[in-house]
């Protein structure tokens, strides 16, 4: 039986978390998903402590959130103890409910500086960072980790026990190694193993794209929560659908109008939050994912580029409202012949 859980006094209800994704889970995307319902915790994009502590405007913007997103966690990454401490302080100052440390990002530019997955092979550094942060902030400290750095050095259980010993109050595991990246399948048995040896809440992440998949992961691991990332890009209603099933309700099925409207809503949010050209580029990035909802071939990036090649927001709204099928099909106008 799935039920809400708490990270200290922060209730995660339902026990479903929007997983942080670089370049995706900005304030517009988080609000969009939160409004659909079923999200127990939203998390920022992972934010560079180098940028935050050097007053980089982009990094500071990434900490913005709205009250209706709560509970809200800021996730930071880095490999330097002092900068991690300062960034954690900044997250608490802006009003975050939870501070999350990224120990899982596999990107080379992050790992080479000791952050992200690099901390999985340097437990002394990780321990020092977590202890320093724990002494500094009063909000709950959490961590997100991976199975291990290399495929042959799976150490998620040891990392989880270390984090708990340093005061972490929730552990999230993405069941792939740094070496694996996003290939293959996530190892959810490691979530079960961690749950058996720590006393703090444990959540799992990786490959959950359906109601059935979520329930299977809860049942086989005994985990407290589930993080969903890419599954929410393809189906923004997935959290609501899982919550419906948890309460024995018929799961919400979006209509064609709902699918049209969510793209319009997202575009309006982007236009509120950023300049026109970045908003158009972000729209092109994610609209193709949204169109997977019908289970058909998604709209290609080229077709979306053609549709949005005119830098005219009013024209874009007309395009989105004119959908007569799903996924939409954008056709290039034929050039006159002869």
Which sequence positions are flagged as catalytic?
105
Provide φ and ψ at 40, rounded to 5°. -90, -25
Contact 299, 263 (CB under 8 A): no
Contact 44, 75 (CB under 8 A): yes
What distance in Å separates the CA atoms of residue 13 and residue 6, rounded to the nearest whole number?
A: 8
Cis peptide before 321 (omega within 30 of 0): no
- Of 323, 293, 230, the C-alpha closest to 304 is 323
- Residue 121 CB neighbours (<10 A): 17
What distance in Å separates the CA atoms of residue 330 and residue 63, rounded to the nearest whole number?
A: 36
Q: Who's near 302: CB < 8 A, 6+ residues apart?
A: none
Ramachandran bin of 257, using left for φ above 0, alpha for ψ from -120 to 50, beta for the remaining angles? alpha
Q: Who's near 300: CB < 8 A, 6+ residues apart?
A: 288
What distance in Å separates the CA atoms of residue 158 and residue 203, rounded to the nearest whole number?
A: 16
Q: Who's near 37: CB < 8 A, 6+ residues apart?
A: 239, 240, 243
Contact 25, 55 (CB under 8 A): no
Provide φ and ψ at 12, rounded to 5°. -105, 95
What distance in Å separates the CA atoms of residue 119 and residue 123, rounded to the nearest whole number?
A: 6
Identify the helix (H) or strand (E) that includes residue 198: none
Q: What is the DSSP string of 111-135?
A: HTTT-GGGGGG-HHHHHHHHHHHHH
């Amino acid at each position: 039986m799935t039920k809400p859980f708490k990270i200290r006094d922060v209730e995660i209800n339902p026990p479903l978390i929007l997983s942080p994704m670089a370049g995706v889970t900005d304030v517009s995307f988080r609000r969009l998903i939160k409004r659909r319902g079923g999200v127990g915790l939203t998390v920022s994009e992972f934010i560079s402590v180098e940028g935050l502590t050097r007053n980089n405007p982009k990094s500071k913007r990434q900490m913005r959130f709205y009250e209706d997103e709560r509970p809200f966690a800021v996730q930071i990454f880095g490999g330097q103890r002092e900068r991690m401490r300062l960034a954690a302080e900044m997250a608490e100052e802006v009003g975050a409910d939870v501070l999350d440390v990224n120990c899982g990002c596999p990107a080379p530019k992050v790992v080479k500086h000791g952050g992200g997955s690099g901390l999985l092979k340097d437990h002394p550094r990780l321990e020092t960072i977590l202890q320093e942060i724990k002494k500094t902030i009063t909000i709950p400290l959490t961590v997100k980790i991976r199975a291990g750095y290399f495929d042959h050095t799976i150490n998620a259980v040891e990392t989880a026990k270390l984090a708990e010993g340093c005061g972490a109050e929730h552990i999230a595991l993405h069941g792939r190694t740094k070496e694996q990246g996003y290939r293959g399948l996530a190892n959810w048995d490691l979530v079960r193993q961690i749950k058996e040896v720590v006393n703090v809440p444990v959540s799992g992440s990786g490959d959950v794209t359906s109601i059935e998949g979520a329930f299977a992961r809860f049942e086989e691991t005994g985990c407290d929560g589930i993080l969903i990332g890419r599954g929410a890009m393809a189906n923004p209603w997935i959290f609501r659908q899982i919550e419906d099933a948890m309460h024995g309700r018929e799961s919400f099925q979006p209509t064609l109008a709902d699918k049209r409207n969510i793209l319009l809503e997202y575009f309006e949010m982007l236009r509120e939050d950023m300049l026109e050209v970045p908003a158009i580029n972000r729209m092109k990035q994610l609209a193709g994912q949204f169109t997977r909802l019908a289970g058909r071939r998604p709209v290609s990036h080229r077709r979306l580029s053609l549709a949005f090649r005119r830098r005219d927001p009013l024209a874009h709204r007309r395009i989105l409202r004119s959908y007569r099928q799903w996924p939409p099909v954008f056709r290039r106008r034929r050039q006159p012949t002869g």
